[in-house]
């Protein structure tokens, strides 16, 4: 029986079938198996996550009204389960996790490559947070410029304990000072902060509250990135 959390008032629609299905999919990652178990995917994995997305609009608006929770099964916040194998050596047709991207509402933001929040659901590897992932070169340049121009604000983020991660260059990019106080951050090609969850935490009644807390913790970084890209937050 679902129970409500104290801080969000939301029921947690996620159940143990989510992780059971994803584990089975990892063991049988082929089209024949998936077609035979598609109803399971929808009932135990996709639909509960869509219900979480639909319910999370309220808490998300409390963090930023510029980021949306879109519960549509196609084209919304939930990423497709199907892998793009065109340029990959791994030809497994399905992802073995579910990804949720709470995207910025502005068309100028860059969609999934713009500033926003993310939830990753995978057995033994769940996390949530926010930031900027694989941005376009122009957006990446603007963020690096903002780190230099607003060094005090960037330092404040880091001094608050926010651990900023991402793929990085080996050297500070051309045009930026290799001796800058934030030289290591100027090497970054992504900028995100996240919090990990155990499977048990994801299935617990208070998970919506834990998720909201993780996104609130990452919000100062997302706000900085939005300002760097001339987007409202």
Residue 166: pLDDT over 70? yes
- Region 47-58: mean pLDDT is 97
- Give the pLDDT of residue 225: 98
* Count of helices and strands (H, E) across the chain: 10, 4
Which ranges of 28-118 does DSSP label H, i.e. alpha helix? 31-36, 38-40, 47-55, 57-63
> Does the pLDDT of residue 114 top 60, yes or no?
yes
Q: Cα–Cα distance between 153 and 157 in angstroms, integer?
A: 6
Q: What is the pLDDT confidence band of residue 4, given thresholds at 50, 70 and 90?
A: very low
- Structural domains in the chain, sorted by start: 17-228 (3.30.930)
Q: Rounded CA gap, 210 and 187, in Å?
A: 31
Q: Which residue has the higher pLDDT, 27 or 88?
A: 27
Would you state the structure tokens that stand for residue 222, as one six-digit string?
């997302």
What is residue 90's predicted lDDT score, i.e. its pLDDT?
A: 85
CB 68 within 8 A of CB 103: yes
pLDDT-derived band at 1, boundaries 50, 70, 90: very low
In 3D space, the residue among 151, 155, 103, 156 whose CA is nearest the CA of residue 130 turns out to be 103
* Residue 215, pLDDT score: 98
Quick one: average pLDDT of 25-48? 97
Q: What percent of the chain has pLDDT above 70?
A: 97
């Amino acid at each position: 029986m679902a129970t409500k959390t104290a801080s969000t008032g939301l029921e947690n629609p996620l159940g143990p079938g989510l992780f059971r299905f994803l584990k089975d999919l990892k063991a049988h990652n082929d089209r024949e198996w998936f077609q035979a178990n598609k109803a399971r995917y929808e009932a135990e994995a996709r639909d509960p996550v869509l219900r979480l997305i639909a319910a999370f609009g309220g808490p998300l608006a409390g963090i930023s009204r510029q980021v949306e929770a879109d519960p549509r099964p196609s084209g919304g916040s939930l990423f497709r389960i199907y892998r793009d194998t065109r340029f990959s050596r791994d030809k497994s047709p399905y992802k073995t996790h579910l990804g949720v991207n709470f995207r910025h509402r502005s068309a100028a933001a860059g969609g999934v490559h713009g500033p926003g929040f993310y939830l990753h659901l995978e057995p033994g590897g769940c996390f949530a947070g926010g930031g900027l992932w694989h941005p376009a070169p122009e957006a990446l340049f603007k963020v690096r410029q903002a780190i230099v121009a607003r060094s005090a604000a960037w330092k404040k983020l880091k001094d608050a304990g926010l651990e900023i991660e991402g793929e990085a260059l080996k050297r500070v990019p051309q045009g930026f000072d290799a001796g800058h106080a934030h030289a290591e951050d100027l090497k970054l090609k992504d900028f995100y902060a996240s919090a990990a969850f155990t499977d048990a935490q994801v299935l617990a009644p208070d998970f919506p509250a834990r998720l909201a807390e993780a996104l609130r913790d990452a919000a100062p970084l997302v706000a900085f990135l939005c300002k760097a890209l001339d987007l409202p937050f």
